[in-house]
Amino acid sequence: MAALQLSTLEALSANQADTINQWISQLEASGATRNVRESDLRQQTAELLGLLLAALAKQAGTQIGDSGWDDTRRFLERLSNSRAQLGHESHQTAHFIFALKGVLFARLQAAYRDQPELLAEQLWEISELLDALAMHTIGTFQRSREAVIKRQQEELLELSTPVVKLWDGVLALPMIGTLDSQRSQTVMESLLQAIVDTGSEIAIIDITGVPTVDTLVAQHLLKTVTAIRLMGADCIVSGVRPQIAQTIVHLGLDLGELVTKASLADALKLALARMGVTVSKAV
C-alpha cells in the first residue's frame, strides 16, 4: 500500500482557513448543518481538520484503529453523540466527513497536476482514510441513536403506567395501548412498589384504553394480579367492555378468581365497599 507523501501533507495543510470555508459551504449545501449553530460548526470543522493533520504529521498512518488516531476517534464519537441528540440522520452525520473529500481532493489535484500516478495513489490513501473515519462516525452514531431510543422508550413506559391514589388504601393504574411483555413487567414493578410505598390494600387495573385482549394480554394480567395478591393486596380489573368480554369468551380464557368490572367507577365502588366505606350524596 502506498504511503502518504510529505508533499501531500503540505498541500493539505496549506490555506486551512480556505479549506474550512469550502468544507462548511459543502455541508450547508447538503443540509447537514440542520440545528447546528454556525459557531459550533466552524469550531467542529477546525478541530477535526487540526486533528487530522496532526495525526498525519505524526505519521500515524491511515489505520484509524492505531493509537495515533485516538484523539480523532474521540472527537468523532462526541460529534456523533451530539448529532444523535439533535435528531440528525446517520447520512447527515457521515456527510460531515464526506464533504471534506472534495475539498482535499482539489488540493491534491493541484499539487500533483503533473504526476498522475502519484496523484492516484495519494487520492486513494486519503479516500480510504476519510471513508474509515466516516464509518467510525456512523457506527458511533447508530449506537448513540439506539441509546436515545431505548431511553425514550423507557421514559414512555414510565409515563404510560401512572399509579394513581384514588382513596386511602386504594390505587388505580389506568392502561392505554397494547400490553406486551416489557410493559407488563413495568406495570407490575410500578404497581407493586406503589403498594409498598402507600400500604394500599386494593389495586384497580383499568383496561378501558387497551384495544384488544388476547391470550397473551390475559396472561400478563393474571401474572400481575398474582403478584399483587402475594403482596397482601387485592386486585380489581375494570374497563371490561362488551367487545373484550366477547373476545375472552370466544378464546375460552380462564381468568380464575379475577374480579372484573365494566367501569372504573364500579371498581372504585366495590373497593370502597370492601373497605367498609360508604359514599352518599350530600343532602
Round to whole Å and give the CA distance between 244 and 253.
11
Q: Which domains does the chain have, with CATH numbers?
A: 6-157 (1.10.490), 164-274 (3.30.750.24)
Strands (E), the chain: 164-167, 170-176, 202-209, 234-238, 259-261
Grid cell digits, residue 162: 401512572
Round to whole Å and give the CA distance between 137 and 24.
18
What sign has the CA pseudo-torsion 64, 65, 69, 73?
positive
Round to whole Å and give the CA distance between 101 and 96.
10
DSSP 245-259: HHHHHHHT---TT-E
Looking at this protein, which amino acid is placed at residue 218?
A
For residue 1, what pLDDT is reported? 41
Residue 37 per-residue DSSP state: -
**pLDDT digits (tens), the chain, 283 positions:** 457 788 888 999 988 999 999 999 988 888 778 778 889 899 999 999 999 999 888 875 667 878 888 999 999 888 888 887 777 777 788 888 899 998 999 999 999 999 999 999 999 989 999 999 988 888 888 887 777 777 766 666 555 568 888 899 999 988 877 777 777 777 788 888 999 999 999 999 998 888 877 777 777 778 888 888 898 899 999 988 888 788 778 877 666 678 889 899 999 999 999 988 887 777 6
Strand order in the sheet with 202-209: 164-167, 170-176, 202-209, 234-238, 259-261
Residues 6+ apart with CB under 8 A from 11: 107, 108, 110, 111
